[in-house]
Amino acid sequence: MIDRSEPKLISGNSNGPLANAIARRMSLHRGMSVSLVDARVERFNDGEVFVEVYENVRGEDMFIIQSTSKPANDHLMELLIIADALKRSSAARITAVIPYFGYARQDRRTKARTPISAKLVANMITQAGIERILTLDLHAAQIQGFFDIPVDNLYAAPVFALDVKHNFRGRLQDVTIVSPDVGGVARARELAKRVGCALAIVDKRREKPGEVAEMTVIGDVKGKTCIIVDDICDTAGTLCKAAEVLMEAGATEVHSYITHGVLSGPAVGRITNSVMKSLVITDSIAPTEAVQAAPNIRIVPTAPMFAQGILNTWKGTSVSSLFDTETLMPIYEGLYSE
């Protein structure tokens, strides 16, 4: 542990509400006021990012809270330039808290002459002076290996397990957890194991990105309450189609739990008009007004988990303890009661 009085938080413009919520949670944990470092992150007239930190950060343990969500390039540059400003101001250590890690879907070469953008972004973050990453549900676990610095990848599954047990109490025996594709089976199996439910898979075949040619349900979902689990929902086309296929296969109702609600383009409209009874997302990406107003979209907070993760990183204690549902229950007290 770095011998400093308190960890210091600074935020870009990507998710101000989450950054403030993390600061409030840390204030509760520390029994004293924890606020964001006073700084300005603005644009020049030509769109260049400008950062100025108004407080002394020399020798401090700094945590930058910044999702690289839409507009991804702008928010990524904010993260890099904030890190550079802190490094040149002699901060002792810089940790990037990235609730949503953009470019993670470009983690391998799927065909000739394509980039591995996730690796490029990892190099940029490391070169900016960031010494540690704290993130949530990376799209692919191997992205941790793209970094030459420590990466703590938290999971939404323990929080989702608390939510499922709370909202489906008394009928868990009729719940089936569903993976929307073969690649997400491990994620769905993990949640199914935590809540003690059966597992099914929706096998899909894509003809080209963004389009689904055919879907088949693997497993028995007749008469079941199906919960689709995935890490990212972008335009929601695949998700809504999967819900329809499950209903056609005999499911009584369909819900979805998605970590990162990108929800771009027609997504909110599709979800509102779909057969899904509810979509649960986290606040890793700042929700738009349309998302907040949607009647069947609900947001689960991540501030308690990130606040504890930051404190554990600062104190040099285990971050992996946050992988357990039992560990998270006390810090989510009041939200999920037994």
Pick out the residues of the known binding site.
46-48, 105-106, 139, 181, 206, 230, 234-238
Q: Is-catalytic flag, 241?
A: no
Known binding-site positions for Mg(2+): 139, 181
Known binding-site positions for ATP: 46-48, 105-106
Q: Which two tokens stand for residue 158?
A: 């323990």
Catalytic residue of the set 204, 222, 224, 241: 204
CA-to-CA separations, 3 to 6, 26, 60, 92, 327, in angstroms, rounded: 9, 18, 9, 10, 26
Q: Which two tokens stand for residue 320?
A: 């992996």
Known binding-site positions for D-ribose 5-phosphate: 206, 230, 234-238
Rounded to whole angstroms, the Cα distance separating 223 from 204 reads: 22
Spatial CB neighbours of 215, under 8 Å, sequence gap ≥ 6:
202, 203, 204, 205, 241, 242, 245
Which strands make up the sheet holding 278-282, listed edge to edge? 214-218, 198-205, 175-179, 225-233, 253-261, 278-282, 297-300
Spatial CB neighbours of 292, under 8 Å, sequence gap ≥ 6:
299
Write b or e for each residue in 278-312: b if 16 or more Cβ atoms lie within 10 A of its Cβ, otherwise e: bbbbbbbbbbeeebeebeebeebbbbbbbbbbbbb
For the annotated catalytic residues, the residue numbers are 204
